[in-house]
Structure 1
Amino acid sequence: MSKAIKKQALGRGLSALLKDPENDIQSVEDKNADKVVGNIIELEIDAIEINPFQPRSNFNEESLRELATSIKELGVIQPITVRKLDFNKYQLISGERRLRASKLIGLTTVPAYIRIANDNESLVMALVENIQRHDLDPIEIALSYQRLIDEIQLTQEQMSERVGKKRSTIANYLRLLKLDPIIQTGIRDGFISMGHGRAIINIDDHDVQTDIYQKIVSQNLSVRETETLVKNYHESLKPKPAIPAKTASFEINDEDVSTFNKYFGTKIDVKVAGNGKGKITIPFHSEEDFNRIIKLIEG
């Protein structure tokens, strides 16, 4: 008998063990737990519920159909991972694409690794296994990290150790959640990249964020061009340096102005520019006053 046939037969035998109420395994300390936990077992698909902690929320239908075709021809090559909830009830930890694809082609059972885990352990396992095995979009990854922070109370440093990612990498993903929801959706749908998002996040005003997002999409801007756009925006916010007023090239003393005032019988305004040019303003208050000034000028 080949190894593959032996493995399959073992899976069927363990499946029968799990359906025996007298062998309801709830912890690693229970009888026969060593025969079940960590082994590959053929589980009924109807006994498996979706994991609410699953980081992935978007599933490409075309990609699922391709996977379903592959499973139909070759079988489920990589088993899913589940945790035991109750008698003949299981919750998916990782492998939702494989589970969905198996349902598409009408399979009633699927090979699965059995694990005993609490909610917190399940969340961490789902996050680590799914991020490392599948191409989650950046927002899904960011939301998963945020969930670890909120629900497991992990610091970014602790999370770095748990998921095997640099703290700076985790921080960059989390910052994406500060983007306007419209832009987050744009990243999830592939209209812009995470690089575009990291550039836009340097702007606090969500209205300005969305304006730049629209330009990126409509003009097909690169990440570098987006960074330049953001830089120019910040430059526009800086206060313009005050241009110092030019001082007059020479001064008009009060005595000279007083002489003008006495001669014309009115208050004269004298201004001198920095280049030495200037003007004298002689006010008048009536036509009679205007004619009086004309006569004075004509001598």
Structure 2
Amino acid sequence: MAKATKKQALGRGLSALLKDPDNDIKSAEDKNADKLVGHIVELEMSSIEVNPFQPRTSFNEDSLKELASSIRELGVIQPITVRKLDFGKFQLVSGERRFRASKLVGLDSIPAYIRIANDQESLEMALVENIQRQDLDPIEISLSYQRLIDEIQLTQEQLSERIGKNRSTIANYLRLLKLDPIIQTGMRDGFLSMGHGRTLININDTQKQLEIYEKILQKSLSVRETEQLVRELNAEGKPASAISKKAAVPKTYKKGIKEFTEYLGAKVDVKVTKKGSGKLTIPFSSEEDFERIKKLIRGEE
């Protein structure tokens, strides 16, 4: 018989605490809260609602079926995490794939860690937990970063510390949200890589972005081929002298240009004269982007 039909012997004693309305635990200071919070308890599936703060909006059906098959044979190995709402009601913080797969199997209950958290803490836990996953697409990651910044009121520097990512990496993800929605959808569906997206950001004209996007799909262009196409597009209409000057940037400057670009999250351009003097150009796409770059230069983020 499939193991999914067997109820795991987890938190059986603790379950009694959850069914006593006269001693309902609502905060970490309540009596017996220490016996419940942070422990694994077997919860009825019907008592758990999905997290409205879940940053992931799509789940691969084939992947869910594979997980469901594993759960059918082995049970739920890693408990989900929930936060307590009202009496007998809980909300997912993390583990929605396990929760959905368990529903596919037909489980009546699931092992869960119980936490007590307010909406902001729940949002932060859900977002940070999901950011650490390996199978999120670049746009999902970008949206999660943006939500943490907007709704938890974090700076890019604080976000960098929370999730252990370089500030320049975060800035590069956030810039993807400036792409046309059609291109963002293409990235979410796996037609474009993050490298393609970062290259397309350097095209200011949205219509031109979409034209290049179509060429990428039609000709299965690599990131390097796309970069060349964008360089040619941006060079159109410029005087030949300007193009030759750009091509003549000494190799010794190229590493510095790359470091500037990664740190500022903007395609930095350098022009050098024969005498060795030059000019550094930092593009920005909006007033908000200008302020972001200014803060980076000042070291305020």
TM-score by length of 2: 0.75
Contact 2:131 2:144 in 1 (8 A): no
| Aligned residue number for residue 235 of structure 2 | 235
| Aligned residue number for residue 262 of structure 2 | none
Q: Establish whether residue 13 from structure 1 lines up as the match of residue 6 from structure 2.
A: no
Contact 2:17 2:23 in 1 (8 A): yes
Alpha carbons of 1:221 and 1:141: their partners in 2 closer, same or farther (altered >3 Å)?
same
| Aligned residue number for residue 197 of structure 2 | 197
1:23 CA displacement:
2.4
Provide the secondary structure at the position in 2 that maps to 1:38.
coil
| Aligned residue number for residue 182 of structure 2 | 182
Q: Establish whether residue 63 from structure 1 lines up as the match of residue 60 from structure 2.
A: no
1:182-220 Cα offsets, whole Å, 9 max, x none, are 000000000111111011011111111111011111100
Alpha carbons of 1:120 and 1:28: their partners in 2 closer, same or farther (altered >3 Å)?
same
1:113 CA displacement:
0.6
Alignment partners' CA distance in 2, 1:229 and 1:122: 44
Name whichever of 64-73 and 146-155 sits farther off.
146-155
| Aligned residue number for residue 38 of structure 1 | 38
Mapping for residues 261-280 of structure 1, pairs under 5 Å: none
| Aligned residue number for residue 135 of structure 2 | 135
Provide the secondary structure at the position in 1 that maps to 2:41.
strand
Q: Establish whether residue 102 from structure 1 lines up as the match of residue 102 from structure 2.
A: yes
Structure 2 unaligned spans of 5+:
1-7, 243-301
The alignment's C-alpha RMSD in Å is 1.4
Matched letter for residue 79 of structure 1:
P
Aligned residues with identical type, % of pairs: 76
Alignment partners' CA distance in 2, 1:170 and 1:100: 30
Alignment partners' CA distance in 1, 2:237 and 2:85: 57
1:239 CA displacement:
3.8
1:47-74 Cα offsets, whole Å, 9 max, x none, are 1111111111110101100100000000
Return the structure number with greater relative CO, CA threshold 8 A, min gap 6: 2
Aligned residues: 235
Structure 1 unaligned spans of 5+:
1-7, 243-299
Larger CA Rg, structure 1 vs 2: 1
Provide the secondary structure at the position in 2 that maps to 1:86.
coil
Provide the secondary structure at the position in 1 that maps to 2:11.
helix
1:69-111 Cα offsets, whole Å, 9 max, x none, are 0000000111111111111111111100000000001111111
1:45 CA displacement:
1.1
Alignment partners' CA distance in 1, 2:124 and 2:92: 13
Matched letter for residue 41 of structure 1:
V
Provide the secondary structure at the position in 2 that maps to 1:133.
coil
Alignment partners' CA distance in 2, 1:193 and 1:221: 11
1:244-274 Cα offsets, whole Å, 9 max, x none, are xxxxxxxxxxxxxxxxxxxxxxxxxxxxxxx
Alignment partners' CA distance in 1, 2:212 and 2:133: 33
TM-score by length of 1: 0.76
Alignment partners' CA distance in 1, 2:241 and 2:165: 45
1:22 CA displacement:
2.0
